[in-house]
Amino acid sequence: MQRENQRSQTPDTIGIERCVEVTADGSATLFVPAMNEHYHSVKGALTEAQHIFINMGFQHSPVASPRILEIGFGTGLNAFLTLMAAEQSMRKTYYCGIELHPLPWETIQQLQYSTNPSLHSIHSAGWEEEVQITPHFALQKIQADFASNSFSFNPLIYPPFDVVYFDAFAPEKQPEMWDTQLFERLYVSMNKGAILTTYCAKGIVRRTLQSVGFVVERLSGPPGGKREILRASKP
């Protein structure tokens, strides 16, 4: 992916350097020089998040009070957009975000996503605990390595999910996050009829999703962005 305007650099608490960059729709993202990888599409971070996760995921789900799981919580942009959509539609939403390397609030502020106080509430919420952020949006951030063999969702603690936002770094950069076993883990953690959306429409990812039992659709990508994205449904 090509880099847009570089604005500033911020190392996080464990020393990973990230640069704030402006994408084609004017919204910002983070670039990780060590991986040569962005957190969002350089063709439009906000446009991508809204299309793939909100429009094709949250809005598409018929579940009145959806349970959402995000793999790769990152900047919290998907969580914030989901909160806005949940409040607008008055759908009680539970949102579980898995993240290995939480970002400091100072980095989030530099992205200038919104001045809405809910964005700060999302980031100041404690890890592991469930926090009611707004009347229709409850958040549980979990700091964990989703690729670890020891990771699992205890069904007594985590009832099945209705929507999964799969937003890991690209398969070329982090192949372990796109492994068949991880998609099997997601499949068993989802309700019948639940959906998973991802920006990556590569044939290998589509076939892996199909091999674990999902029915996979190729959908149009975000305006000005990728040609296709994937949505997988659990039959």
Q: Which residues bind ligand SAM (CB under 6 A)?
A: 39, 49, 72, 74-75, 77-78, 98-101, 145-147, 167-169, 174
Closest distance between ligand SAM and the C-beta of residue 235, in Å? 26
Closest distance between ligand SAM and the C-beta of residue 92, in Å? 22
Query: 148 or 193, CB closer to ligand SAM?
Result: 148
Closest distance between ligand SAM and the C-beta of residue 60, in Å? 18
Query: 101 or 202, CB closer to ligand SAM?
Result: 101
Tell me the C-alpha distance between 43 and 206, whole Å: 23
Tell me the C-alpha distance between 213 and 171, whole Å: 20
Question: Residue with CB nearest ligand SAM?
Answer: 74
Query: 13 or 192, CB closer to ligand SAM?
Result: 13
Closest distance between ligand SAM and the C-beta of residue 59, in Å? 17
Query: 26 or 135, CB closer to ligand SAM?
Result: 26
Q: Is the sign of the CA dihedral 9, 83, 55, 94 positive or negative?
A: positive
DSSP H or E stretch at residue 28 = strand 28-32
Percent of the chain as helix, strand, coil, to the nearest 5 = 25, 30, 40
